[in-house]
């Protein structure tokens, strides 16, 4: 990494993590990873020392950061924490560089629904066959003429955590959902990250003027907010989670809902894109890791509840 590299003054801090120690550093930070397109991360050493590795064209370089030091990490820079002193503490800030602000959903995520294999089914037997044939790492966009929620919940329960679903629409007795099979058991926070990707992908379609994708966006966002506001956040707060973070996120949910109704207005659309992009990032990088720490095994039961939540009941409630 070039040590003089810094973000533009137009940066916006999305959040700052809690203080990490060698006992509770998120595993993500110990593996190679990189801030995404318009994101800067700042490592802030609060006490002790940590060694950080940078991966660039010249190979791996190690740098020791001491108490009081901060270091910017530019978008796309591959880095990881190599060593943390026993009594060292550090925090990680995530900043958005508004000089290159999001003008569209992230391309990788935006294509998720467009690229999914699409299957139309009319019977439970066809669903069972589809799920049987779905290989690890594969996804299918299932359009059914009947409500397969109950069958899907049972299949998920039998899959030892490898199957998940993102219901998108329930109307006229039918159901549409993205179903996925993973190679490893999926936990709640991985699922919520996948759900963010589904929402961003529906948004990409909605912005192209696709009315069905707009409906999927409304439905999947409504369900996601119910998961967070009625299941995840109350459990996190009961486990002494950070109430300021939860207040801030719920406040952003309100703004998202407001701008969603006016996506045809360019100013509202830009605001919605900026908000959603920063919001998802803040949750995935800063808040969700703290939720894992506070809730531990409690996440397993919550994930079961989330997999039981369809979309019809959410839409009926928010209508």
Residues 59-88 that bind Fe ion (CB under 5 A): none
Binding segment toward Fe ion, per CB under 5 A, in 95-103, 148-156, 240-248, 281-289: 281-289
Closest CB 280 distance from Fe ion, rounded Å: 6
Closest CB 92 distance from Fe ion, rounded Å: 19
Binding segment toward Fe ion, per CB under 5 A, in 150-158, 204-212, 214-222, 280-288: 280-288
Beta carbon nearer to Fe ion, 121 or 200: 200
Q: Return the residue of 283, 287, 289, 314 that touches Fe ion, per CB under 5 A.
A: 283
Beta carbon nearer to Fe ion, 97 or 228: 228
Binding segment toward Fe ion, per CB under 5 A, in 7-15, 171-179, 181-189, 275-283: 275-283
Beta carbon nearer to Fe ion, 73 or 276: 276
Convert residues 293-312 into a mask of x (bound to Fe ion by CB under 5 A) and - (unbound).
--------------------
Convert residues 125-154 into a mask of x (bound to Fe ion by CB under 5 A) and - (unbound).
------------------------------
Beta carbon nearer to Fe ion, 49 or 252: 252
Beta carbon nearer to Fe ion, 72 or 236: 236
CA–CA distance, 316 with 306 (Å, rounded to integer): 17
# chain residues binding Fe ion, by CB under 5 A = 2
CA–CA distance, 317 with 229 (Å, rounded to integer): 14
Closest CB 262 distance from Fe ion, rounded Å: 20
Residues 216-235 that bind Fe ion (CB under 5 A): 228
Beta carbon nearer to Fe ion, 206 or 249: 249
Pick left, alpha or beta for residue 11 (phi over 0 → left; psi -120 to 50 → alpha; otherwise beta).
beta
DSSP assignment of the chain equals --TT----TTEEEEEE---B-TTT--HHHHS-B---TTEEEEEEEEESEEEEEEEETTEEEEEEEETT-EEEE-TT-EEEEEEE-TT-EEEEEEEEEGGG--SSS-HHHHTHHHHSEEEEE-SHHHHHHHHHH--TT-EEEEEESS--HHHHHHHHHHTTT-EEEEEEEEETTEEEEEEEE-SS---HHHHHHHHHHHHHHHHHHHHTT-HHHHHHHHHHHHHHHHIIIIIIHHHHHHTT--HHHHHHHHHHHHHHHHHHTTTTSHHHHHHHHHHHHHHHHHIIIIIHHHHHHHHTTHHHHHHHHHHH--SHHHHHHH-
Closest CB 22 distance from Fe ion, rounded Å: 29
CA–CA distance, 110 with 204 (Å, rounded to integer): 6
Closest CB 15 distance from Fe ion, rounded Å: 12
290 lies in the site for Fe ion, by CB under 5 A: no
Which of 188-205 are b and which e, b meaning 16 or more Cβ less than 10 Å from the residue's Cβ?
Answer: bbbbbebbbbbbbbbbbb
Closest CB 271 distance from Fe ion, rounded Å: 16
Beta carbon nearer to Fe ion, 283 or 290: 283
Beta carbon nearer to Fe ion, 45 or 307: 307
Q: Interface with Fe ion by CB under 5 A: which residues?
A: 228, 283
């Amino acid at each position: 990494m070039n040590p003089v590299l810094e973000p533009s003054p137009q940066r916006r801090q999305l959040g700052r993590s809690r203080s990490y120690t060698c006992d509770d550093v998120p595993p993500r930070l110990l593996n190679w990873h990189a801030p995404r397109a318009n994101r800067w991360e700042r490592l802030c050493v609060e006490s002790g020392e940590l060694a950080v590795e940078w991966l660039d064209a010249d190979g791996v370089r190690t740098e020791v950061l001491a108490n009081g030091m901060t270091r910017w990490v530019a978008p796309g820079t591959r880095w990881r924490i190599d060593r943390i002193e026993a009594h060292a503490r550090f925090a990680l800030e995530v900043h958005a560089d508004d000089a290159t602000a999001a003008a569209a959903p992230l391309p990788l995520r935006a294509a998720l629904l467009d690229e999914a294999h699409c299957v139309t089914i009319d019977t439970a037997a066809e669903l069972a066959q589809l799920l049987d044939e779905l290989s690890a790492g594969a996804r299918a966009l299932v359009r059914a003429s009947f409500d397969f929620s109950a069958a899907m919940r049972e299949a998920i329960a039998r899959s030892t955590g490898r199957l998940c679903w993102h219901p998108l629409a329930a109307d006229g007795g039918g159901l549409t959902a993205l179903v996925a099979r993973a190679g490893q058991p999926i936990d709640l926070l991985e699922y919520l990250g996948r759900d963010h990707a589904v929402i961003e992908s529906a948004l990409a379609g909605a912005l192209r003027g696709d009315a069905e994708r707009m409906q999927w966006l409304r439905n999947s966002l409504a369900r996601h907010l119910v998961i967070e506001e009625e299941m995840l956040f109350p459990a996190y707060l009961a486990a002494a989670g950070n109430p300021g973070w939860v207040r801030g996120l719920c406040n952003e949910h309100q703004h998202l809902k407001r701008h969603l109704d006016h996506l045809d207005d360019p100013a509202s659309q830009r605001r919605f894109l900026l908000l959603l992009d920063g919001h998802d990032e803040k949750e995935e990088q800063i808040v969700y890791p703290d939720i894992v720490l506070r809730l531990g095994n409690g996440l397993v039961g919550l994930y079961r509840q989330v997999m039981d939540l369809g979309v019809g009941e959410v839409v009926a409630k928010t209508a």
